[in-house]
Amino acid sequence: MIRSISLAARRGAAVALLAAATALPLTAQACDNVPDWAQGACNRLDQIWNQGNDELYITGYAWHNRAAYSADKIKSFREESWGGGWGKGIYDEDGDWQGLYGMAFLDSHGHVEPIAGYGYQKIGRVGENWRFGIGYTAFLTAREDIFHYIPFPGILPLASVGYDKATFYATYIPGGKGNGNVLFMFGKWTF
């Protein structure tokens, strides 16, 4: 068991690092050779990476929709999805949040799942410190039970509520009978 987790952790870390290293511009010159139609996106990613605040992510819970699984299958799942990661984020000129992140956590079967991606949320403010957001995340992930850790892309909705430097997030992974249908929850602390 420890050997398989260690192997999975190594694979997951390698995938996450490769995805982060290839997806992120490191300097303003990184956008010089990008086609005109992609300049805006490249410049924004560069801004997030170089000017964004550091963000610590802590994962914690994956609720499986009871209507999509048998009681026995639910019992076999690990719903505590402990893990974490690091990211960079900004509140842009419109007050909306945009960020880049990399995380690794235990999936429903106890295997390490790495993920690296971009998130965007339209932010509404309630008072000086409270905020809520709705948006999406586009990412690259890898799972042992899906393609045996061959990375694949995804896009999911992303909702949040935050106070000062703390933010609570939730996303829903859709699916059919016996797959997907998971509410994934995690937190973020902005430095």
Residue 35 main-chain phi, psi, to 5 deg: -55, 155
CA angle 5, 59, 94 (to 5 degrees): 140
Catalytic residue among 46, 76, 94, 107: 107
Catalytic residue among 64, 81, 111, 160: 64
SS3 per residue for the chain:
CHHHHHHHHHHHHHHHHHHHHHHCCCCHHHHCCCCHHHHHHHHHHHHHHHHCEEEEEEEEEEEECCCCCCHHHHHHCCCEEEEEEEEEEEECCCCCEEEEEEEEEECCCCCEEEEEEEEEEEEEEECCCEEEEEEEEEEEECCCCCHHHCCEEEEEEEEEEEECCEEEEEEEECCCCCCCCEEEEEEEEEC
Known active-site residue 4: no
Known active-site residue 64: yes
Catalytic residue among 32, 92, 94, 108: 108
Known active-site residue 107: yes
Query: Which residues have a catalytic role annotated?
Result: 64, 107-108
